[in-house]
């Protein structure tokens, strides 16, 4: 018969082995991620001299403020459009047959296998003034002049929503799959129309999914670099590109690292605020 101490030893051996297994990954993260990150934060308060001068720019520099506002606006718009489209796709997936579901899931995941760079260039080709979209619209006589679809905010939003959609669809779909469809049937049997059953029962139950997907998309959108750089055409400057300019071109490392730090702290603050409202662990499937 095993004694309690035997059990404890087995426990520690079992769990000790698991800790050993994740040790290389933890060590790599610490060296390659946490150390440089600390360096970034330190640089932001030491370059060019010790103090919070760089952070004061948040309040004084109009170009910094403009970039931050643009970033927030683009991220918010991207989140809104992505949630709207993603909700429709996830809803359709939920209602589809198993075979169709598999096909739809495949199509949703497909963009993940193509680099963001390639996708951005594809959008430039598609949306350009001589691209197939404008050519088609002109051929049908819907427009006379090519629409400015790319190298501006419209193109940027199209590209960002495209990248973000899979995240929103997967999060929303996971949430919707957990909803008992019989609840909607019950609502109908109690006298609710299709729309009432959706608005009063289904939609409120997808609230955690909407919050989760919204947070995920918003946070990821804040740090976008490649898509704004290519599809924004230099007209829409988001924070990541602004940081890159400070690091690579103007060599104002203090300003660049301050913005990177601000971005990171904002994201952490947003997550913390969210955790006050909903169970974040459950939201992201932990």
Partner 1 sequence: MVPPVSEPLVRFVNVRKSYDGTVDAVRALDLEVARSEFLTLLGPSGSGKTTTLTMLAGFERPTEGRILIDGEDVTDVPVEKRGIGMVFQNYALFPNMTVAENIAFPLRVRSVSRAETASKVARALSMVRLDGFGDRKPQQLSGGQQQRVAVARALVFEPRLILLDEPLGALDRQLREQMQYELKHLHQRLDVTMVYVTHDQVEAMTMSDRVAVFSTGALRQVAEPRRLYEAPASLFVARFLGESNALAATVKRPDDGRCLATLATGEAVTATMPTACAAGAAVHLVVRPEKILLGQAAQAAPNRFAARIAEVTFLGDQTRLRLAAFGADDFIVKLANTAGQASFAPGAEIDIGWQTEDCRALAE
**Could you tell me the smallest distance in angstroms from the CB atom of residue 200 to partner 1?**
7
Applying CB under 8 A, does 40 fall inside the site for partner 1? no
Applying CB under 8 A, does 283 fall inside the site for partner 1? no
Applying CB under 8 A, does 186 fall inside the site for partner 1? yes
Applying CB under 8 A, does 282 fall inside the site for partner 1? no
The sign one gets for the Cα dihedral 272, 83, 171, 229 is negative
Among 190, 265, 268, 269, binds partner 1 (CB under 8 A): 190
**Cα Rg of the chain, angstroms:** 24
**Could you tell me the smallest distance in angstroms from the CB atom of residue 179 to partner 1?**
9
Q: Is the separation of the CB atoms in 127 and 112 below 8 Å? A: no
Q: Give me 23's structure tokens.
A: 């040790």
Q: What is the 8-class DSSP label of residue 149?
A: -
What whole-number distance in Å separates Cα of residue 255 and Cα of residue 252? 6
Which of 130, 132, 124 is CA-nearest to residue 156? 124
Q: Looking at 46-54, 200-208, 244-252, 272-280, which segment touches partner 1 (CB under 8 A)? A: 200-208
Q: Looking at 30-38, 56-64, 191-199, 267-275, which segment touches partner 1 (CB under 8 A)? A: 191-199
| Count of residues that bind partner 1 according to CB under 8 A | 18
Name which of 45 and 192 has its Cβ closer to partner 1: 192
Name residues whose C-beta falls within 8 Å of residue 192's C-beta, 6 or more positions apart in sequence.
Answer: 200, 201
Question: Which x/- pattern over 98-127 shows residues binding partner 1 (rule: CB under 8 A)?
Answer: ------------------------------
Q: Cα dist. 160→107, 182, 218 in Å?
A: 17, 36, 11
Concatenate the DSSP letters of all residues of 239-278 into one string: HHHHHHHHHHTS--HHHHHHHHHHHHHHHHHHHHHHHHHS
Among 65, 100, 189, 275, binds partner 1 (CB under 8 A): 189
Applying CB under 8 A, does 201 fall inside the site for partner 1? yes
User: Looking only at residues 161 through 180 of this chain, which bind partner 1 when binding is defined by CB under 8 A?
Assistant: 180
What whole-number distance in Å separates Cα of residue 152 and Cα of residue 157? 9
What whole-number distance in Å separates Cα of residue 129 and Cα of residue 144? 12
Name which of 94 and 252 has its Cβ closer to partner 1: 94
**Could you tell me the smallest distance in angstroms from the CB atom of residue 26 to partner 1?**
38
Among 107, 200, 269, 271, binds partner 1 (CB under 8 A): 200
Interface residue list for partner 1 (CB under 8 A): 180, 182-183, 185-193, 196, 200-201, 204-205, 207
């Amino acid at each position: 018969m095993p004694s309690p101490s035997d059990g404890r030893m087995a426990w520690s051996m079992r769990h000790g082995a698991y800790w050993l297994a994740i040790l290389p990954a933890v060590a790599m993260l610490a060296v390659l991620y946490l150390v440089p990150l600390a360096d970034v934060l330190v640089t932001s308060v030491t370059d060019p001299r010790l103090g919070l001068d760089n952070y004061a720019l948040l309040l004084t520099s109009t170009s910094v403020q403009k970039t931050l506002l643009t970033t927030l606006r683009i991220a918010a718009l991207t989140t809104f459009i992505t949630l709207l489209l993603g909700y429709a796709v996830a809803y359709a997936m939920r209602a589809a047959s198993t075979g169709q579901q598999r096909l739809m899931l495949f199509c949703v995941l497909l963009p993940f296998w193509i680099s963001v760079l390639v996708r951005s260039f594809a959008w430039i080709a598609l949306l350009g003034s001589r691209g197939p979209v404008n050519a088609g619209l002109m051929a049908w006589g819907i427009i006379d002049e090519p629409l400015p679809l790319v190298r501006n905010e419209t193109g940027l939003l199209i590209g960002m929503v495209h990248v973000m959609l899979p995240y929103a669809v997967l999060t929303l779909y996971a949430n919707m799959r957990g909803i008992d469809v019989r609840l909607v049937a019950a609502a109908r049997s109690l006298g609710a129309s299709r729309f009432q059953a959706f608005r009063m029962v289904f939609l409120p139950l997808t609230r955690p999914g909407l919050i989760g997907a919204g947070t995920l998309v918003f946070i990821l959108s804040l740090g976008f670099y490649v898509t704004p750089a290519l599809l924004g055409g230099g007209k829409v400057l988001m924070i990541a590109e602004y940081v890159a300019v400070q690091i690579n071109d103007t060599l104002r490392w203090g300003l660049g690292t301050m913005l990177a730090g601000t971005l990171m702290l904002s994201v952490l603050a947003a997550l913390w605020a969210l955790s006050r409202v909903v169970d974040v662990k459950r939201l992201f499937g932990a």
